[in-house]
Chains A and B, each alone.
Chain A
Amino acid sequence: MLSLRRYLPLLLALLALALFPLVGSSYYVGLLSRILILAIFAMSLDLLIGFTGLVSFGHAAFYGVGAYALAIGFQNAEVIHLWQALPLSLAAAALAALAIGWVSVRTTGIYFIMITLAFAQMFFYFFFESPRFGGDDGIFLFLKPVLMVGSEDLLGLDKDSNFYYFTLTCLVLAFLFLKMILRAPFGRVITAISANEHRVQALGYATNRYKLVSFVMAGTLAGLAGFLEAAHTGYINPAYLSWHESGVVIAIVILGGMGTLYGPVLGAFMVVLLQNFLPELTPHWQLLFGGIIIAVVLFLPHGVASLFPKVADLGRGWIGGSPSAAKKVDSHKEAQP
């Protein structure tokens, strides 16, 4: 079936990810957990950038709020119950997104970029200068969240591989959730808004409301990523809310390929692996990293994911149907202006 073939690469990738802890050392499992958390963060931003056409330069604020909610709420707790902690983080992030979004979606273009930046900075300085919330020394968490059934912890997050699977599950659920809402009428509306907002308004839609809902959903998912990060490393610091982090996640979305949902996942892999391995090549690795970003911006604007439809087409040629059939599909697509 066509749809299975289309999703085959994704399913294969998921299988590879699921099997990884069986072969990887504990360090790499931990590293991959971090990549997956970043992937969730980036996917949530893709909803805004890639599908709604809202470039938010303050997305790290929600990531940070999700993380801080966990750290502040359960700093001195004897046990962290997942069913208490996770909703708290999500609600906090959603609330923050609602507040910031309500003000911000009334602006567009560069104003939107700037106002989201300004709000993120406010949050940053709030946490930075607050002695109660750890200030710039940050907050430590010495426990991991647990899901108790009777006296058994279903999660066992202390173990690296268990945490990995937990994160992978969250990633898959987030992906499916986003795919679902994008398929629904809501998703059509926001995609239309990103193409031409005035036209959608002319059709009678209250576009600001749709944009706000999209913003809140993206913020909540970012909060989920923040929750996972704080649970993973047991540490949160205002630096997580800095505009640098917001900038890096924008880079991840674009490098990976915006508007695809799986692109940001690729981007997260790319960026983290680059940051891990480039320094071993040269101490001036930032030059290389900057150069790579520029090269992608100039020559591969749709990111690494844009390479993959070609793979998929190749796949179609190899698995079933002739290569010429694939070519025909290609040229039909490109005939469109």
Chain B
Amino acid sequence: MEISFYLVQLLNGIQYGFLLFLVASGLTLLFGIMGIINLAHGSFYMIGAYLAYWLSGMTGSLWLGILLGLPLALLLGYAVERFAISFLYRRDHLYQVLLTFALILIFNELQRILWGNNVHGVPIPEVLAGSIPLTENQVYPIYRLFISAACIVIAAAMYWVIQKTRLGMMIRAGSSNREMVQALGINVNRLFAIVFSLGVALAAFAGMLAAPVDSVYPGMGENILIISFVVVVIGGTGSIKGAFVGAMLIGLVSTFGKVMLPEMASMSVYAMMAVILLWRPQGLFGRAV
């Protein structure tokens, strides 16, 4: 294989890493920063994709669809937090696991009732529909570059908000010691509700952006759920930077694993996760346990 082959694979790996970070961003916020185990993350991703399909079909434009869909996702997140998650903060993580597991069942069934069983596509917006030639017979779709760019923007925004703003400080404090923050006079309930809504909206947003590339079908959330957790755990909870690095690492290992070790492709990511956790149980950039 020539060098261009490996270069293109490198590009594939990096781009996959960007996509993974985007898809896992909602979980990074909820699980990584807030410590909430949200198994329904894949369901929110799926809901985002279906919203994109439905709204862009109605309005004829993906942008309008996303614009209309985001407030809906925020509302959904708020409702889930207020009516379910908020009762579980004081309790063991176990209950979050179980409750969000039940949410998966519920959302799957709701999706079936609302939108049926077919596989749907969402057309790529005209302005992004072209491609860039890479090699003599392979081109690169511009939309994928757009997704990568969106990911970088989100990553930077998340990092800045969490690390450099007052809101971020409150979030980080609230997740490590809720009572103390409350004692300092900050409305923790509202804070957590806002953050949870943002996390859900991020997951949905990723689903909306990825819909033109991924297609929209029942059960699509399952595929990204586990890998999203792996991203956050490898990167280390509490760290946006870690999640970013984790996503990149997985993107590269997964891509090159497929080419060099095809039999072990599925296991390679989990094996890597096991090795990293052996060495550093808190993940690459996580807070020390």
A294: B residues at CB distance < 8 A: 84, 99, 102-103, 106
> Does A63 touch B at the CB level, under 8 Å?
no
Residue of B nearest to A295 (CB): B102
> Does A82 touch B at the CB level, under 8 Å?
no
Whether B97 lies near A286 (C-beta < 8 A) is no
Tell me the B80-114 residues at the A interface (CB within 8 Å).
Answer: 84, 87-88, 91-95, 97-99, 101-106, 108-110, 113
Whether B271 lies near A122 (C-beta < 8 A) is yes
Given the contacts A103-B277, A291-B106, A122 and B95 also touching, CB distance less than 8 Å: no
Interface centre among B92, B94, B97, B281 (most CB of A within 10 A): B94
How many A residues touch the partner, as a band?
35 or more
Whether A125 lies near B101 (C-beta < 8 A) is no
A243: B residues at CB distance < 8 A: 226
Residue of B nearest to A125 (CB): B266
Whether B267 lies near A122 (C-beta < 8 A) is yes
Main secondary structure on chain A at its contact with chain B?
A: helix
> Does A233 touch B at the CB level, under 8 Å?
no
Q: How far is the CA of A128 from the CA of B91 in the complex (A)?
A: 36
Q: Distance (Å) between the CB of B279 and the closest chain A CB?
A: 11
A106: B residues at CB distance < 8 A: 281
Given the contacts A114-B233, A121-B226, A301 and B103 also touching, CB distance less than 8 Å: no
Q: How far is the CA of A302 from the CA of B22 in the complex (A)?
A: 37
Q: How far is the CA of A115 from the CA of B273 in the complex (A)?
A: 8
Residue of A nearest to B272 (CB): A118
With an 8 Å Cβ cutoff, the count of chain B residues facing the other chain is 43
- A287-309: CB near B (< 8 Å → 1, else 0) gives 10111011001100100000000
> Does A251 touch B at the CB level, under 8 Å?
yes
A49: B residues at CB distance < 8 A: 94
- A209-249: CB near B (< 8 Å → 1, else 0) gives 00000000000000000000000000000000001000100
Shortest 3 CB-CB contacts between residues of A and residues of B: A290-B105, A293-B102, A290-B106
Which residues of B does A touch, CB under 8 Å? 31, 35, 37, 39, 84, 87-88, 91-95, 97-99, 101-106, 108-110, 113, 226, 229-230, 233, 237, 263, 266-267, 270-271, 273-274, 277-278, 281-283, 289
Supply 21 A–B pairs (Cβ within 8 Å), ascending by A: A103-B274, A106-B281, A110-B237, A111-B277, A114-B233, A115-B233, A117-B226, A118-B273, A118-B274, A251-B98, A254-B94, A254-B98, A284-B113, A286-B106, A287-B105, A290-B105, A290-B106, A291-B102, A294-B106, A297-B95, A301-B91
Which residues of A does B touch, CB under 8 Å? 49, 55, 57, 103, 106-111, 113-115, 117-119, 121-122, 125-126, 128-129, 243, 247, 250-251, 254, 258, 284, 286-287, 289-291, 293-294, 297-298, 301
